[in-house]
Structure 1
Amino acid sequence: SSLRVTWQKRCVYMFALAAAASAAAPLESVDGAAFFEPFSSDWESRWLVSKDADFQGTWIHEAYTEPEGTPGDKGLMVGNEAKKHAVSHLFKEPIDPKGTGLVVQYELHMKKDLKCGGAYLKLLTASEELDHDGFKAETPYTIMFGPDKCGGTNKVHFILRHKSPATGEWEEKHLKKAPTPLLAVGETHLYTAIVGADNTVTLLIDNEEKVKASLLESDDFTPPVNPPKEIDDPDDKKPDDWVDTAKIDDPEASKPDDWDEDAPMMIEDPKAEKPESWLDDAPLQVPDPEAEPPDDWDEEEDGEWEAPIVDNPDCKEFGCGEWKAPQIRNPDYKGKWTAPKVDNPEYKGVWKPKQIANPGYFSDEQPHAMAPIGGIGIELWTMQDGALFDNILISTDPAPAKVAAEAFAARSEAEKAAKKAKQEAAEAERKAKEEERKAKEAKEEEEAKEKAKAEAEEAKENPEKDEI
Structure 2
Amino acid sequence: MTRQLTLGLVGLIALSSAVSMVHATKEATPDSAIDDVEIPTFKSTKIEAPFLEQFTYGWPQNWHTSNATKESSDNGEIFSYVGQWSVEAPHVFSGMKDDLGLVAKTPAAHHAVSASISKPIDNTEKTLVVQYEVKAQNDLVCGGAYMKLLTDSNDGIKFKEFSNETPYTIMFGPDKCGTTDKVHFIFRHKNPITGVYEEKHLESAPQSKVGRITSLYTLVVRPDQTFEIKINNQVMSSGSLLEDFKPPVNPPKIIDDPKDSKPTDWVDEAKIPDPNARKPDDWDENAPPKIPDEKATKPDDWLESEETEIPDPEAVKPEDWDDDEDGDWVAPLISNPKCQGRGCGPWIRPLISNPNYKGKWSPPMIDNPAYKGVWAPRKIPNPNFFEDLQPSRFEKIGAVGFEIWTIQNDLLFDNIYIGHSVKDAETLAAETWEVKYAVEKQLEELANPTKKNEDSKEKSKDKELTLEENPVAFILQDLREFFAMLRKDPSNAVNTNPLSVFVLSGIVGVGFGLMLIILGLKSGVSNESATAQTKKSDMPTADDKKQGGEDEDASASGSAISANTTDEQPVRRRTNVAGDAE
**Normalised TM-score (structure 1):** 0.78
Is residue 28 of structure 1 aligned with residue 91 of structure 2?
no
Larger Rg, first or second structure (1 or 2): 2
Pick from 39, 45, 48: which aligns with 2:61? 45
Q: Identify unmatched segments of 5+ residues in structure 2.
A: 1-20, 70-79, 454-465, 476-498, 515-582
Structure-to-structure mapping, 1:60-99, within 5 angstroms: 60-61=86-87, 63-64=89-90, 66-99=92-125
- Tell me the equivalent position of 1:100: 126
- Tell me the equivalent position of 1:461: none
Q: Report Cα offsets for 1:291-342 as digits up to 9, x if no partner.
A: 996xxx8779x98899998663548967877776676665555444444444
SS of residue matched to 2:171: strand
Is residue 405 of structure 1 aligned with residue 421 of structure 2?
no
Structure-to-structure mapping, 1:259-408, within 5 angstroms: 259-265=283-289, 271=296, 276=302, 280-281=306-307, 283=309, 312-314=334-336, 332-406=356-430, 407-408=432-433
Aligned Cα root-mean-square deviation (Å): 4.2
Is residue 195 of structure 1 aligned with residue 260 of structure 2?
no
- Tell me the equivalent position of 1:13: 33
Alpha-carbon deviation of 1:215?
1.8
Q: 1:440 corresponds to which letter in structure 2?
A: V
Change in Cα spacing, 1:314 to 1:242, as seen in structure 2 (3 Å) is same
Is residue 58 of structure 1 aligned with residue 84 of structure 2?
yes
Alpha-carbon deviation of 1:112?
3.6
Contact 2:47 2:428 in 1 (8 A): no
Pick from 251, 271, 281: which aligns with 1:227? 251
Question: Distance between the aligned counterparts of 1:404 and 1:336, measured in 2?
Answer: 78
Question: Distance between the aligned counterparts of 1:292 and 1:111, measured in 2?
Answer: 68
Q: 2:167 corresponds to which letter in structure 1?
A: P
Is residue 145 of structure 1 aligned with residue 145 of structure 2?
no
SS of residue matched to 1:380: strand
Question: Distance between the aligned counterparts of 1:290 and 1:207, measured in 2?
Answer: 76
Alpha-carbon deviation of 1:420?
0.3
Is residue 161 of structure 1 aligned with residue 188 of structure 2?
yes
Alpha-carbon deviation of 1:287?
7.4
Alpha-carbon deviation of 1:151?
3.9
Question: Distance between the aligned counterparts of 2:88 and 2:305, measured in 1?
Answer: 78
Alpha-carbon deviation of 1:252?
4.3
Change in Cα spacing, 1:383 to 1:7, as seen in structure 2 (3 Å) is closer
Change in Cα spacing, 1:44 to 1:246, as seen in structure 2 (3 Å) is farther
Question: Distance between the aligned counterparts of 2:68 and 2:425, measured in 1?
Answer: 33
Change in Cα spacing, 1:437 to 1:12, as seen in structure 2 (3 Å) is closer
Structure with higher strand content: 1
Question: Distance between the aligned counterparts of 1:81 and 1:128, measured in 2?
Answer: 35
Contact 1:9 1:425 in 2 (8 A): no
Q: Report Cα offsets for 1:13-54 as digits up to 9, x if no partner.
A: 336631xx32xx546346132212224486443211111132
Alpha-carbon deviation of 1:98?
0.7
Question: Distance between the aligned counterparts of 1:443 and 1:311, measured in 2?
Answer: 61
Q: 1:181 corresponds to which letter in structure 2?
A: S
Q: Identify unmatched segments of 5+ residues in structure 1.
A: 452-468
Question: Distance between the aligned counterparts of 2:351 and 2:49, measured in 1?
Answer: 79
**Normalised TM-score (structure 2):** 0.64
SS of residue matched to 1:405: helix
Question: Distance between the aligned counterparts of 1:273 and 1:257, measured in 2?
Answer: 37
Change in Cα spacing, 1:149 to 1:440, as seen in structure 2 (3 Å) is closer
Give the fraction of aligned pairs with identical amino acids, expressed as a percent.
40
Alpha-carbon deviation of 1:367?
1.0
Pick from 225, 230, 238: which aligns with 1:212? 238
Alpha-carbon deviation of 1:156?
1.4
Change in Cα spacing, 1:38 to 1:279, as seen in structure 2 (3 Å) is farther
Question: Distance between the aligned counterparts of 2:428 and 2:303, measured in 1?
Answer: 84
Contact 2:256 2:379 in 1 (8 A): yes
- Tell me the equivalent position of 1:417: 442
Aligned length: 438
- Tell me the equivalent position of 2:522: none
